[in-house]
Amino acid sequence: MTSSKSTALAARIERWPIAGSFTISRGAKTEAVTVVAQVARDGHIGHGECVPYPRYGETPDATLAALLSMQDPLGRGLDRQALQAAMPAGAARNALDCALLDLEAKISGRRAWDLLGRPAPRACTTAYTISLGSPEAMATATAKAAHRPLLKIKLGGDGDGKRIAAVRKSAPESELIVDANEAWTSKNLERNLAKCAEAGVTLVEQPLPAGQDEALARIRRPLAVCADESVHDRVSLEGLRERYDAVNIKLDKTGGLTEALAMADAAHALGFEIMIGCMVATSLAMAPAMLLTGQARFVDLDGPLLLARDRDDGLRYDGSLVYPPEPALWG
Same domain, 318 and 248: yes
Element (H, E) at 297: none
* pLDDT above 90 (res 5): no
Same domain, 27 and 145: no
* pLDDT above 70 (res 101): yes
Same domain, 195 and 298: yes
Residue-wise pLDDT for 174-183, tens only, equals 999 999 999 9
CATH number of the domain to which 152 belongs: 3.20.20.120
* pTM for this entry: 0.94
Same domain, 317 and 184: yes
Active site residues: 154, 250
Asked which of 63, 87, 115 is the last residue of a domain, the reply is 115
* pLDDT above 80 (res 228): yes
Alpha-carbon gap, residue 96 to 10, rounded angstroms: 10
Q: For residue 3, what pLDDT is reported?
A: 38
297 neighbors 122 (Cβ within 8 angstroms): no
Assigned domain for 32 exists:
yes
Asked which of 93, 115, 137 is the last residue of a domain, the reply is 115
Assigned domain for 201 exists:
yes
Give the torsion sign (CA, 117, 91, 74, 288). Answer: positive
28 or 256: whose pLDDT is higher?
A: 256
Q: How confident is the model at residue 28 (pLDDT cuts 50, 70, 90)?
A: confident
Same domain, 196 and 311: yes
* DSSP code, position 149: S
Same domain, 190 and 273: yes
Range of the domain at 205: 124-322
Same domain, 82 and 211: no
* DSSP code, position 121: P
Rounded alpha-carbon distances, angstroms, from residue 21 to 153, 154, 215, 277, 285: 15, 13, 33, 19, 19
Asked which of 56, 91, 115 is the last residue of a domain, the reply is 115
Assigned domain for 3 exists:
no
Same domain, 90 and 179: no
Same domain, 44 and 193: no
Same domain, 270 and 294: yes
Assigned domain for 2 exists:
no
Assigned domain for 221 exists:
yes
- DSSP assignment of 309-326, as one string? ---TTPPPEETTEE-PPP
Same domain, 26 and 106: yes
Assigned domain for 296 exists:
yes
- Strand pairing category for 124-125 and 321-322: antiparallel
Counting the structural domains of the chain, the total is 2
Please name the residue ranges forming H helices in the chain.
60-68, 71-75, 80-86, 91-108, 112-116, 135-144, 160-170, 189-198, 251-254, 257-269, 283-286
CATH number of the domain to which 94 belongs: 3.30.390.10
**Amino acid found at 50:** C
* pLDDT above 50 (res 113): yes
Using only C-alpha atoms, what is the Rg of the chain? 20
- Strand pairing category for 246-249 and 224-227: parallel
* pLDDT above 60 (res 4): no
Q: How confident is the model at residue 114 (pLDDT cuts 50, 70, 90)?
A: very high
Assigned domain for 1 exists:
no
Same domain, 256 and 135: yes
Assigned domain for 210 exists:
yes
* Nearest in space to 297 (alpha carbons), one of 169, 221, 205: 205
Residue-wise pLDDT for 267-303, tens only, equals 999 999 999 999 999 999 999 999 999 999 999 999 9
Alpha-carbon gap, residue 184 to 157, rounded angstroms: 5
Q: For residue 188, what pLDDT is reported?
A: 95
36 neighbors 14 (Cβ within 8 angstroms): yes
Residue-wise pLDDT for 302-311, tens only, equals 999 999 999 9
Q: For residue 2, what pLDDT is reported?
A: 33
Q: How confident is the model at residue 22 (pLDDT cuts 50, 70, 90)?
A: confident
Q: For residue 1, what pLDDT is reported?
A: 28
